[in-house]
Structure 1
């Protein structure tokens, strides 16, 4: 593995993080500020406009809500980290203008998801984007996850305890805010190091072209449609009568998830829906015999699931989606490109 920071090779974590991580609290020793009101936001935007670049990240509540939303935006500049509480901030248009300002470079790591979420929730367009993960891949790095990079290059280990945190809860614990800061705190330093290596190896234009492509990503259509049940794994292997049942089960689960404000998979997983459709149970006892079903689910959703099975049995089979098979020339070009990509990556 190529170390992008040869001058800090073999330095102990204690020395490496001195002045960055407080050895007593294991927290960042530089200040941070939580932005919760419009006046503080305007003051921040005024300050950020004078910066050449800023580091950016987002946190969403996809594991805890029917429709996920961005709940926190992290922004770092030299010497301080900002945490924008988007649950309390009702007007983020000043930040949107800054995101579109190409005089300020926005540095992200794995930017695709953030670009899509910020566009979806706030209609932000991000210009002059630099993705450190793209840069690492362009340089031939294999381990490009932020946790790996922070540990390998800065000696900082992310606490996995917070990986499945509910970012929509309020107030956010101070420990969780400190965890969020790590996603942006080191990105500007990383960006400078990567830029140097990209230019030395003649790969700067390649990386910037990919960053530009990512900045133009658009949100997918997440609106509910009954026929999206076909996207469940192995749904297309069902018999027509089973497919009709799965469609009704899918619609029932969506209704429950919306009512409870929970992700559909946390109501009943796809695999369990598929099992019910295949088994066609007609009683609560038969439902409980199925793998994946719990007594709690039977208590909350049992009658609704049985009703969906009955409705599916009475319904005509849903039309199967048309196959979108690529022609042979496209398949062959794709295979050649994959082979070229693999050979190019191995040569780096």
Structure 2
């Protein structure tokens, strides 16, 4: 199995994109992947979309093409199975940047997890199934650079080229083991993944105040330092960690340096960082020391009964996962487990309503889940 004889087609013109869409719509399954620039930009974006069919590999350039909406018909077509590896991140990125909707996907990583595989990275699976050695050298590369060097083009095509035969192997095993319906309900849930609201200017986690015994004024300084870093990252179009690390900001808030000498003695910033940010950091600390301390946000903490039911369900799914040879979230996904603990169903019909999107799990585990809830509620009533 090799890519040498397979055409590699670069798509960066609208007419070529239209032809690609016509080609993809003729297939019953195709492989998809994306590459982004999360390590190189303040706000990441999709920089490459890869497609593979049995006949060819395609690389679509979203940085050159201004309108990718024709691809929407492919992603939304129920007849075409779109094969991803670790689909969730790709789906989030494609929804966020282009507003696509998705129907009928297959996730080779999740399929491997359902089958109890321990090594589920693409390189590991391809080695297990086909004896292939996949190069991962460009995993952290800057995909926004143009032109992309030949080695990166070759790397990109390999992320989709083998997904169709890999899907065939995993699908056959899922069906053989009676897990096909479970996989399908998870793939359907994946298509509904929502784009999280990401506030890049968000301040520090308030748990740090307790963990490091920060005074209210030190917390004010740390909050101000986060805001300063965010401003610098936005101006430089770089991710936060390429400006200053969270650890460096925390040490500054703990030490509260007042002069360039104090800052230098700490030894936490490079010479280049001191040259670029020394004045701004010291000014930020001075201003924050005279500002009112920030108010701790109120978090909605579940009541004790919900937490108790949640703990019983966690223990049960962990035991069931060990029995089945899979990770515990395959037995019961976290969001579903938390909802069950909150709503506390007492009757099969109530649990069926909560689990309407996971019918395989309801049929397989519904009785045990209700029993676990009964035990948890009994323990609460008889402490």
The normalised TM-score by structure 1 is: 0.88
1:229 and 1:235 in contact (8 A); partners too = no
Q: CA deviation at 1:233?
A: 6.9
Secondary structure class of the residue paired with 1:130: strand
Aligned twin of 2:219? 243
1:176 to 146, 152, 155: 152
1:150 and 1:156 in contact (8 A); partners too = yes
Aligned twin of 1:299? 275
Aligned twin of 1:38? 14
Aligned twin of 2:179? 203
1:55 and 1:76 in contact (8 A); partners too = yes
Q: CA deviation digits over 1:184-216, x for unaligned, max 9?
A: 111111111111111111111111111111111
C-alpha distance in 2, partners of 1:320/1:61? 34
Aligned twin of 2:105? 129
Provide structure 2 residue ranges, at least 5 long, that are not aligned to the other structure. 326-383
Aligned twin of 1:313? 289
Q: Point out which structure has higher relative CO (alpha carbons under 8 A, 6+ apart).
A: 1
Secondary structure class of the residue paired with 1:57: strand
Matched, 1:140 2:116: yes
C-alpha distance in 1, partners of 2:115/2:182? 10
1:31 and 1:81 in contact (8 A); partners too = yes
- How large is the RMSD of aligned CA atoms in angstroms? 1.6
1:230 and 1:236 in contact (8 A); partners too = no
Q: CA deviation at 1:65?
A: 0.3
C-alpha distance in 1, partners of 2:50/2:57? 7
Matched, 1:234 2:234: no
1:192 to 165, 168, 192: 168
Q: CA deviation at 1:242?
A: 0.5
C-alpha distance in 2, partners of 1:235/1:166? 35
C-alpha distance in 2, partners of 1:53/1:200? 21
Runs of 4+ in 1 over 6 A off after TM superposition: none
- Cα 1:92/1:140, change in 2 over 3 Å: same
Q: CA deviation digits over 1:258-310, x for unaligned, max 9?
A: 10000011100111011101111011221122243111101001100011101
2:204 and 2:226 in contact (8 A); partners too = no
Q: How many residues matched? A: 322
Q: CA deviation at 1:183?
A: 1.0
Q: CA deviation digits over 1:9-46, x for unaligned, max 9?
A: xxxxxxxx4xx15xxxxxx4422111111111000000
C-alpha distance in 2, partners of 1:86/1:344? 44
Aligned twin of 2:334? none
Secondary structure class of the residue paired with 1:33: strand
Aligned twin of 1:166? 142
- Cα 1:80/1:233, change in 2 over 3 Å: farther
Matched, 1:51 2:27: yes
C-alpha distance in 2, partners of 1:334/1:147? 36
C-alpha distance in 2, partners of 1:89/1:97? 17
Q: CA deviation at 1:316?
A: 0.6
Provide structure 1 residue ranges, at least 5 long, that are not aligned to the other structure. 1-16, 22-27
Task: Judge which range, 106-115 or 333-342, deviates more.
Answer: 333-342
1:62 to 9, 30, 38: 38
C-alpha distance in 2, partners of 1:66/1:250? 14
Aligned twin of 1:115? 91
Aligned twin of 1:8? none
C-alpha distance in 2, partners of 1:196/1:102? 21
C-alpha distance in 2, partners of 1:49/1:61? 28
